[in-house]
Amino acid sequence: MRPSGRTIDQIRPISIEINVTKHAEGSCLIKCGDTHVICTASIEENVPSFLRKSGLGWVTAEYGMLPRSTGTRMRREAGTGKQSGRTLEIQRLIGRSLRAVVDRVVLGERQITIDCDVIQADGGTRCAAITGGWVALRLAVNKLLQKKLLHSDPILDHVAAVSCGIYAGSPIVDLDYLEDSDAAVDANFVLSSDMKIIEIQGSAERSRFTRNEYNKMMDLAEIGTQTLFNSQKKAVE
């Protein structure tokens, strides 16, 4: 039995509220149970120096957690003068995941930065950031299309992410903090809506896992992300 009482294939309640900030071209507040993340998309009419005169656009991401997003207060990373390895890993994952479904030729030489700020954490923050980040990106690109600054839509598909793991001997989907901290195996699945794999991160936290267990987690990830895709579609309609 999961601590929350959920079945093995049941993700937490999902809500996505759009246009939650005044200035960003795209924004949303995504809630995955008790994990809440604000995602914004900002458009700049230029690209990093390594892409100048390439004809290619760029999508990148930054990620952070507010000091009291967790049970005890964390120090702001800005106060330490550097970002942690975890933060760098997560924001690179978010950027890679979103770029995987963007036609950068169609986007043209402009950059869209996705900022993901965790205001409350209960496991799965990177997955929520990817899922909400796509919504913010979609809204920002919609504005470019409305202004006729793009001749076609550069977004090729949806992207969503969900965690899976092995908890109490059973594969489960969408781990909350209690499950994540005691899981034998922890993995994150990033998929497009045609169920193609964008990225998978997985590790044996307490014990190794078999191909059969991996296959069961993959099946659960497909079930979980389908719910997330439906929530994304409803949010941006």
E strands, the chain, in order? 14-18, 26-32, 35-44, 58-65, 111-120, 159-167, 170-173, 185-192, 197-204
Model confidence pLDDT, tens digit, residues 39-60: 999 999 999 999 999 999 999 9
Q: Which long-range contacts (CB under 8 A, 24 or more apart) does 210-215 make?
A: 213/166, 213/171, 213/185
Residue tagged 């929520």 (tokens): 128
pTM for the whole thing? 0.97
- Which of 63, 233, 222 lies closest to 135 in space, CA to CA? 233
At residue 1, the pLDDT reads: 75
Structural domains for the chain: 14-236 (3.30.230.70)
Model confidence pLDDT, tens digit, residues 139-155: 999 999 999 999 999 99
Q: Which two tokens stand for residue 170?
A: 């059973």
* φ/ψ (deg, to 5) at 192: -95, 170
Q: Is 223 helix (H, G, I), strand (E, B) or coil?
A: helix
Q: Is residue 3 scored above 80 in pLDDT?
A: yes
At residue 137, the pLDDT reads: 98
Contact 14, 228 (CB under 8 A): yes
**69, β-bridge pairs:** none
